[in-house]
Amino acid sequence: MGNRVRLVDVARAAGVSQGTASNAFGKPHLVRDELREKILAVAAEMGYRGPHVMARMLRTGKAGALGVVFPDNLEYAFSDPVAIELLRGVGRECARQSVNMMIISAENHEQAVAAVNNAAVDAFLVHCYSDNNDVIAAIRRRNLPMVGIDTDIAGATATVVLDDFEGAASAARHLLECGARKFAILSLQADEDGQFGLMDARRRGAVSHRVVRERLAGYHAVLKDAGIDVADIVHVECENLSEHVRGQVTDLMAQFPDIDGILAMSDVIAIGALEALAKTGHDVPGQVRVMGIDGVARGARTTPPLSTVAQNSVEKGRIAAELALAGDNVSEPVLLKTRLLVRASSRLPDIS
């Protein structure tokens, strides 16, 4: 039954102190070779399974794991290509540092709080959560290093974000160069309230997600400079799922047939837009130009291939993990650069 062999049993059987037995496993160099081998032999014979993980954790205070927290349900994280890239980067750094990766999973907010409280980890990575949220509060209460990714939650020991303003600006600049004049912006969700559809000025003024705020600002700055009135831009808040976007874009084009430039805040959204436009018989890029943000692999295979502003999500995840595991306070956010990736869904005017 509950008769697990303990270190103290091994020590007794081998005729050494518990401290020495502990060292034989954890700090081999502190024990004479001969003696250590004897201890290990005795342990093996007794069926000792090695130091008890939880007991070691309690004593040392180290969990050997990095917690990764995604907003809302986890299913989304495992279906969004960008989130997966991010996880890949996190995984890479965790492997490098011999630390495991704990995915905090929950079906709802209440469960998420409990999951955070039960997670034996040394640091937290928080992706894309907005601030003032009970899950964030729970994480903060744990008093562990906490790194925000693509979010500027208060109390983070470090923050890794994309240069969203400049990324969005470059997308807008490019579509202007391609000749677009009547714009639609397909936004990611501005808040966690599950609201979709047309965004009025009030909604645009109270965006809780940093990513959305910055990208909007980037788009607007460039378009205003070009003499376009923000009030003339159609803003639609979309769920980050191609299938959902299809319907929204179909409606959008029916309502505003003169749109000739679509700025999507993610490639997933942009791909949904391309699909809708193909189905409704719009010519891309002849009639409408489309730009995404992210640079996901699938964008290279759409028809037409998707122009986008690429980011390196793997590296973003890796850096965030590195900062979290280092645990230092880094006051300045780490700002990652974007790269314009022109493919066929936008089109430069003929230079001939």
Partner DNA sequence: TAGCATCATTGAATCGATTCATTTCGATTC
Partner DNA sequence: GAATCGAAATGAATCGATTCAATGATGCTA
Interface ranges with DNA (CB under 7 A): 2, 4, 6-8, 15-23, 25-27, 30-32, 35, 50-52, 55-56, 58-61
Q: Which residues contact 322 (CB under 8 A, 6 or more apart)?
A: 93
Asked whether 208 and 190 are in contact (CB, 8 A), the reply is: yes
Q: Which residues contact 169 (CB under 8 A, 6 or more apart)?
A: 218, 219, 221, 222
Q: What is the closest distance, in whole angstroms, from the C-beta atom of residue 78 to DNA in the complex?
A: 31
Instruction: Using the minimum distance from each CB to its own copies, give the nearer residue, 222 or 271.
Output: 271
Selection from DNA, its own copies, none that 17 binds (CB < 5 to 8 A by kind) is DNA
Two tokens, residue 290: 């489309």
Q: What is the closest distance, in whole angstroms, from the C-beta atom of residue 96 to its own copies in the complex?
A: 7
Q: What is the closest distance, in whole angstroms, from the C-beta atom of residue 114 to DNA in the complex?
A: 13
Residue whose C-alpha is closest to residue 350's, from 303, 285, 290: 285
Selection from its own copies, DNA, none that 106 binds (CB < 5 to 8 A by kind) is its own copies
Q: Can you say whether the dihedral through the CA atoms of 192, 195, 199, 200 is positive or negative? A: negative
Selection from DNA, its own copies, none that 25 binds (CB < 5 to 8 A by kind) is DNA
Instruction: Using the minimum distance from each CB to its own copies, give the nearer residue, 10 or 115.
Output: 115
Q: What is the closest distance, in whole angstroms, from the C-beta atom of residue 305 to its own copies in the complex?
A: 13
Cα(265)–Cα(171) distance, integer angstroms? 10
φ, ψ at 210 (rounded to 5°): -55, -45
Instruction: Using the minimum distance from each CB to its own copies, give the nearer residue, 67 or 272.
Output: 67
Selection from its own copies, DNA, none that 143 binds (CB < 5 to 8 A by kind) is its own copies
Instruction: Using the minimum distance from each CB to DNA, give the nearer residue, 17 or 287.
Output: 17
Selection from its own copies, DNA, none that 65 binds (CB < 5 to 8 A by kind) is its own copies
Residue whose C-alpha is closest to residue 260's, from 232, 289, 235, 222: 289
- Helix residue spans in 199-301 (DSSP H): 201-205, 210-225, 242-255, 267-279
Q: What is the closest distance, in whole angstroms, from the C-beta atom of residue 47 to its own copies in the complex?
A: 10
Selection from DNA, its own copies, none that 141 binds (CB < 5 to 8 A by kind) is its own copies
Helix (H, G, I), strand (E, B) or coil at 269: helix
Selection from DNA, its own copies, none that 98 binds (CB < 5 to 8 A by kind) is its own copies
Q: What is the closest distance, in whole angstroms, from the C-beta atom of residue 60 to its own copies in the complex?
A: 9
Q: What is the closest distance, in whole angstroms, from the C-beta atom of residue 43 to DNA in the complex?
A: 10
Instruction: Using the minimum distance from each CB to DNA, give the nearer residue, 4 or 339.
Output: 4
Given the structure tokens 């714009």, which residue do they identify?
183
Instruction: Using the minimum distance from each CB to its own copies, give the nearer residue, 94 or 212.
Output: 94
φ, ψ at 103 (rounded to 5°): -95, 115
Q: What is the closest distance, in whole angstroms, from the C-beta atom of residue 98 to DNA in the complex?
A: 15
- Cα 231 off chain centre by: 31
Instruction: Using the minimum distance from each CB to DNA, give the nearer residue, 52 or 88.
Output: 52
Selection from DNA, its own copies, none that 23 binds (CB < 5 to 8 A by kind) is DNA
Helix (H, G, I), strand (E, B) or coil at 34: helix
Contact positions vs its own copies (CB under 8 A) = 49-50, 52-55, 57-58, 61, 63-65, 67, 73-75, 77-79, 84, 87-88, 91-92, 94-96, 98-107, 111, 114-115, 117-120, 141-143, 298, 301
Residue 113 φ/ψ region, left for φ over 0, alpha for ψ in the -120 to 50 degree band, beta for the rest: alpha
For the range 129-134, what are the long-range contacts, defined as Cβ-Cβ under 8 Å and sequence gap of 24 or more? 129/69, 129/71, 129/153, 130/191, 130/192, 130/208, 130/209, 130/210, 131/208, 132/208, 133/109, 133/192, 134/109
Instruction: Using the minimum distance from each CB to its own copies, give the nearer residue, 77 or 233.
Output: 77
